[in-house]
């Protein structure tokens, strides 16, 4: 593994004061630790046909979709007053493919939870995920808010102030495709192409749509995963109870998410909750930046019908 790592292209982000080095593995940039986890998953992971994969590029709505999916899938076992989401950060509830193979295998063995989360690009998913015909949920988000969210998440995780870490430099690197599992547009296009071939197996959700209408999107998610809400549940307001439980306002104010930290990776839970605003990019982008990224994304997504602006 060490020999393989040495052969990969590397990039140390100037804006991070040398604290972040990305490795380019199978056309995407990520950390050394995650390359190792990804490689292991590709070599050893055996997907079950009942598995449901929650896939995303970082900072696009992963925490939110994981919370909704977990609350939906486990609602016979827990209600909104007993759910583990109240006492554990959701990243401890839904295991991550490139980090927690042992927990995923245990969950499958006990049939306790079909959910698996991953940031891996579609072409890098273990072959068994595609071969087993698992269901895949893919969430994506307007690129400008992703750039801002990605910058602040890494900056805070590294204890850098905004003065220490120039946003303009982070922006330029993102535009060059250098970001967690970047290029961001290629990540989306990979899943989008796959969804054309397997429309019944891949559900696309957009962060901004979820914000506009959480109820219909939660309903769509539940149906797609094979856990539809019954007419009685709808009448009893179960969908709204779940969307309220998983809302940013509720989740970000839970004690565990204000003070706890994640078992794997040790990151503080509060870093997963920042502003959750649609359009926060306006605070950070100059006109030139806006024009540059809009032009870039128009070129990259031309013909897909996907809107990331
Ligand atoms: P991850 O890929 O590292 O898990 P992810 O959850 O995808 O991160 O993205 C974090 C973003 O989602 C943050 O956005 P912001 O930086 O623009 O504020 C975070 O605030 C937002 N977020 C987290 N939980 C929720 C939620 N329940 N509802 C809406 N947005 C959320």
* 246 CA closest ligand 1 atom index: 27
Report the residue among 31, 64, 258, 271 best suited for mutation to probe ligand 1: largest number of ligand atoms under 8 A from its CB: 64
CA 241 to ligand 1 centroid distance, Å: 20
What does the block give as tokens for 62?
């992963």
Q: Which residue has the tokens 């306790």?
A: 112
From the alpha carbon of 139, which atom of ligand 1 is closest? 7
Over residues 157-171, mean pLDDT: 95
- Distance, CA 6 to ligand 1 centroid (Å)? 33
Paired strand residues for 22: 11
Cβ atoms 34, 5 nearer than 8 A = no
* Residue 76 reports pLDDT greater than 70: yes
Give me the catalytic one of 39, 91, 108, 119.
119
CA of 63 to the centre of ligand 1 (A): 6
Q: Given the CA of residue 273, which atom of ligand 1 is nearest to it?
A: 20
Q: Are 158 and 19 in contact (CB under 8 A)?
A: yes
Residue where the block lists tokens 């805070």:
156
pLDDT at 282 over 80: yes
How sure is the predictor about 113, in pLDDT bands with cuts at 50, 70 and 90? very high
- Distance from residue 275's CA to the centre of ligand 1 (Å): 8
Distance from the CA of 30 to the center of ligand 1, in angstroms?
19
Average pLDDT over residues 208-216: 98
Q: How confident is the model at residue 262 (pLDDT cuts 50, 70, 90)?
A: confident
Q: Under a CB-based contact definition with an 8 Å cutoff, are residues 47 and 9 in contact?
A: no
The band of 1, judged by pLDDT with boundaries at 50, 70 and 90, is confident
Could you tell me what percent of the chain has a pLDDT over 90?
A: 93
Catalytic residue status for 271: no
Mean pLDDT computed over every residue of the chain:
95
What is the best residue among 30, 276, 279 to mutate for testing ligand 1's pocket, by most ligand atoms within 8 Å of CB? 276
Q: Tell me the longest C-alpha to C-alpha distance in the chain.
A: 59
* Helix and strand element counts for the chain (H, E): 16, 7
Residues with CB under 6 A from ligand 1: 56, 58-64, 67, 145, 149, 152, 246-248, 251, 272-276, 280
């Amino acid at each position: 593994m060490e020999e393989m790592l040495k052969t990969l292209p590397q990039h140390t982000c100037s804006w991070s004061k040398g604290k972040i080095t990305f490795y380019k593995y199978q056309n995407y940039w990520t950390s050394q630790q995650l390359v190792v986890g990804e490689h292991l998953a590709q070599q050893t992971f055996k997907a079950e046909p009942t598995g449901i994969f929650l896939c995303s590029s970082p900072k696009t709505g992963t925490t939110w979709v994981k919370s909704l999916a977990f609350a939906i899938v486990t609602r016979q076992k827990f209600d909104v007053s007993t759910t583990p989401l109240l006492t554990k950060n959701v990243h401890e509830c839904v295991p991550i493919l490139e980090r927690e193979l042992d927990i995923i295998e245990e969950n499958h063995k006990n049939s306790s939870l079909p959910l698996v989360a991953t940031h891996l690009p579609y072409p890098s998913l273990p072959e068994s995920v595609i071969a087993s015909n698992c269901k895949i949920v893919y969430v994506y988000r307007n690129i400008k808010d992703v750039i801002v969210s990605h910058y602040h998440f890494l900056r805070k995780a590294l204890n850098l102030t905004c003065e220490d870490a120039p946003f303009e430099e982070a922006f330029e690197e993102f535009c060059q495709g250098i970001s967690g599992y970047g290029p961001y547009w290629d990540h989306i296009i990979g899943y989008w192409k796959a969804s054309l071939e397997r429309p019944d197996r891949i559900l696309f959700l957009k962060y901004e749509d979820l914000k506009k209408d959480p109820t219909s999107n939660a309903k769509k998610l539940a149906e797609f995963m094979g856990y539809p809400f019954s007419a009685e549940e709808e009448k009893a307001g179960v969908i709204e109870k779940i969307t309220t439980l998983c809302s940013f306002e509720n989740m970000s104010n839970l004690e565990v998410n204000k003070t706890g930290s994640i078992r794997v990776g040790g990151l503080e839970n509060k870093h997963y909750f920042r502003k959750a605003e649609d359009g926060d990019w306006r605070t950070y982008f100059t006109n030139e930046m806006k024009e540059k990224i809009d032009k870039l994304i128009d070129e990259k997504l031309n013909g897909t019908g996907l809107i990331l602006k």
